[in-house]
Structure 1
Amino acid sequence: MDETLDRGMTASIVIVHRPDDGAGSLPKRRGRGDALPANARLLRTIVAALPADFAPVSQLGVETALEAMAEATMLAIAADLDCFLAWARAERRPPLPAEPEDLVRYVRHLEAIGRKPSVASRRISSIANLHRLVGLGEKDPLPTDHAMVRNALRAHRRRRGAAQRQAAPMRFGGALGDDTGFTISHLLEACDGDLQGLRDGALLSLAYDGGLRVSELNAARVDHLEPQGDGSGLLFIPRSKTDQEAEGAWAWVSPDSMRRIQLWLVESGIEDGPLFRRVGVDRRRARAAIPPQPYL
């Protein structure tokens, strides 16, 4: 499987020259380094879980299963399985095939260390995915579906509660920072008139109009925008978290957002490619010259 890198905002950099104000250089972006691709990361975890005497696993079956998963899903499953494998090694219990009694003990362990019921349910789901990936569960029921495992998860939810903390809503106007959440109007007012402020204002306004995720903003391109006769626009979204098969969708863009985007494009000189890009600030070239000093 080919590795794909999400370059997004690092596709190109717009440089702004400013005098040195003593703030220092820009923070360096942390690279991926030698991180494995998501499919290789999950395959490594699967191999670590297999016992020495395990029956041969269909390579084609594993490959097709991984191709159907999103990159974030593979990384999440691998992280969950790493935690389970560490617990199984510490308890000297076989991780594959897992025993229902061991899974109940694992759920109780998660509760004892303060993990939420949602985390325990996700870990059990990842363990079920592990069994399916290596061909288990086709004939016999999965251990994760055993009644005692389901009862253990229910008991965890009953004792801890299953309510999820929701993010504060984003409103358009009103006071900033009150109990009802942030307001987009005050965030836009906080954006300066420099290149960074123009970009941030266009990005915030577009994100609010379309309810866009960060990944969708990263993927937005200049040719994805279609201006309309009334000053508004349409943004084509080729792929999103809820559209893994890339059927695409359209988002309405308000006239105010189109005005902000156009101003950002004109000032940055962007004509094609990614819509939003990193703005680098070079503080070295515009520094005031230091007059020669005599030696004492």
Structure 2
Amino acid sequence: MVFSRTGRAAAALLAVAMLALSGTAAAQPESPETSAAGNNPVYFVHGYNPGSDANCKTIWGNAVDYFEKRGWPGGQLKTVGYYKGDTGCDVSISDDNTTGTRIKHVAADFANYIYEHHTKKGKSVDIVAHSMGGLVTRVALLGSAKGWSGFPKGPLKVGDVVTLGTPHRGVRNPDASDTTQWKSMDPDSEFMRVLHAPENRLSQSWAAGTDWTFAGANEDETVSGTSAIDKGYHADHKFRYLNGNSPKVTHSGIREIAGGKHELRYWHSSEGVPHDTGNGWAPVKTAYEAVNQNGKW
């Protein structure tokens, strides 16, 4: 059974009753093995790299292959480079950014690219982002909707955003690096305070035109599961990989693992109750389903 964003009160009440009776949540529904609609281009945004030189093919190879095998047209799958040393990327939004560049400035570069190539033409895109790339994406949409300086003056047309291992509430070890970007991911940074200011949260109207899915893992050594799902704050769908997975869902694994059975807890905001399963989707499959379902879970 899949669920819509608008919510189904009867299903939610039934789920609560089942939880009360059994003490466990309903199993994760199986997805139909159908080909992707491929209506929107999908942009894959990598995360923080201490050398300012990420390799998009290495980072996103498994995910892109999975999307293609499920029927998404290869020409619609685009990896994004934003560091000056990035290689193997389908598009580059800047040729001079480093780890010393503010996340907000990278986000403005990304926002302007999406606006120029898609939004102003009336076209929508989907985005799958890993680690800091999820913050770049979130701020790209936020800054555009709010009309911040350097951003497009209006909302971007983005149907779905999926973040994998993104430190929405900061990294585990903020003292691991003194670069501008890493310090911004300190849970107590000004960047995090602005991101979670009441008017900037995803529960506000500026974010309503996009379906937001956050995935995180307890086994992630860089970003905790609670941070990656932005616990305590709104997202339309949340997937948290629990302990005991084989292979472990690590910080890099959450963007690479496309198979297996996983200990998983997931939520849909329209229901308001969590579900636990020992047969959960692999992280890459979760990302695929999030954009393919287009909000119609």
Place the TM-score, normalised by the shorter chain, in its bin.
under 0.3
Q: TM-score, normalised by structure 1?
A: 0.22
TM-score scaled by length of structure 2: 0.22
Question: Which structure's relative contact order is higher, taking Cα pairs within 8 Å and 6+ residues apart?
Answer: 1
Normalized per residue, which structure has more helix? 1
